[in-house]
Amino acid sequence: MRETRVRNYKVKYEENAKEGIKYLLYDLDSEEARVFFDQARAHKYAKFEDDSERQYTLSYNSDGTYTLTRRSY
């Protein structure tokens, strides 16, 4: 599992979720991305999809970090 910073949030992710990291970093402005992080913190997770319709779940961890996983449907 890899780790990176997205908008000042520490995020863990697998290689198959790398496009989701890019989406949060480069396709959304900071306020748009923050909505997903706030949702995940308040409800333990937030589901979203990128412009190519790849689906992700951003989960909030008890240590204050986040985990991004790609969903396959």
Domain boundaries, the chain: 2-71
Q: Which residue type, as a one-letter code, is found at position 20?
A: G
Return d(Cα 51, Cα 55) in angstroms, integer: 10
CA angle 69, 32, 15 (to 5 degrees): 20
State pLDDT tens for residues 35-64.
999 999 999 999 999 999 999 999 999 999
- pTM over the 0.85 mark: yes
Q: For residue 64, what is the DSSP state?
A: S
Return d(Cα 38, Cα 15) in angstroms, integer: 24
DSSP helix/strand/coil, 44 = coil
